[in-house]
Chain A
């Protein structure tokens, strides 16, 4: 099974994710996959939710907090600026309060609440979460490639979705019960018109967004999740652990990509130093183990490159390695 085949056989898998420990090349793979898909004529968005995102570096353009930026025809990239998003969001809330109640200024108590809520550590997480939902729900692209933060965060992100969902279900129920009592009172005092419960509407919307987003993440039909790993012992152990956890959250795994494989023609050449040869042999041992463990779920082996992957040219080379020469034209 090859990576290109997975994409060809499953065109319905529109949400693509590369996961794995930090620094293994997830961003590189995201960019290269985006490049390859764009070349196939698909509209693709590569986006990052990592505050220390490196999409700007890889595409050699400053796209941080600028929305979806066109990199080349059909390929867009976006880096979410959580701080900026939170600031805009706060202002939106303030404006709404001013409009609803005709306030000139936000009452102190309310303002200090807004400040306090924004200082919460969970604020950034949930702001990013919501922005991702925005992007995904808008549905403007054929493919969405998530450049996920390292593994722990990805899991946190997933668990947050289910916790939010349960939580919102609970308060929605409370709100609906309140509505019942309000209707009781209205029936008894024979008032015909009841104001709509704006809060209930908001809650239902929030709930819709969360469940849409989390259902995408866990939908085998629509989602392709690839694990990135390198042939090293620690990484292998961590990957196995992570795979178990992902299974627990029902995240469907599409396969594994092995990165930083030392090409044999380099390691086995006569001029190669003993150090490199030793490393190569070690890698061979773990590559064997990876094949034993994951079998044909290993979709690609990507060789160690001689330089950083930045700029479209290098991305193109990477795409060729990942998807094979023929696919590009």
Chain B
């Protein structure tokens, strides 16, 4: 192992340790906040792009203007709206 390889190995180790500590200490908090944000995002898509479900709510001219930004979320949003939810989902 050269000096450089050693150093990159060490930084990698350090990063992994940081990740593990983050995973134990605060990952769940971050995840919960993102979850809340995510479900609001889906509410947002529902009220702006409601046409996808046949409910026009936003003036269509403006909903088109927002469309490019929600393109990636549309399929996951639809999937989540249609997916049957299970009680055990709520754990963890």
Contact = CB atoms under 8 A, between A and B. Distances in A.
Interface of A: 89-90, 93, 96-97, 100-101, 107, 109-110, 113-114, 116-118, 120, 122-123, 126-127, 129-130, 160, 164, 167-168, 171, 174-175, 177-178, 181-182, 184-186, 188-190, 198-199, 202-203, 206
Contacts of B62: 126, 130, 164, 168, 206
Contacts, number: 110
Given A116-B51, A181-B34, A167 B58 contact: yes
Contact of B44 (A97, A114, A171): A171
Contact of B64 (A90, A107, A174, A189): A90
Contacts of A199: 44, 66, 69-70
B64 A93 contact: yes
Interface of B: 22, 26-27, 29-31, 33-34, 36-37, 40-41, 43-44, 47-49, 51-52, 56, 58-72, 74-75
A120 B60 contact: yes
B56 A120 contact: yes
Contact of A189 (B27, B47, B60): B27
B41 to A, nearest CB: 6
Contacts of A110: 67, 71, 74
B61 A114 contact: no
B65 A113 contact: no
Contacts of B60: 117-118, 120, 122-123, 126
A122 B61 CA distance: 8
Contact of A206 (B29, B49, B52, B65): B65
B41 A202 contact: no
B56 A177 contact: no
A109 B75 contact: yes
B33 A127 contact: no
Nearest to B44: A174
B74 A189 contact: no
Lowest 8 CB-CB distances: which A-B pairs, in order?
A126-B61, A181-B37, A185-B33, A184-B33, A117-B60, A126-B59, A189-B30, A188-B30
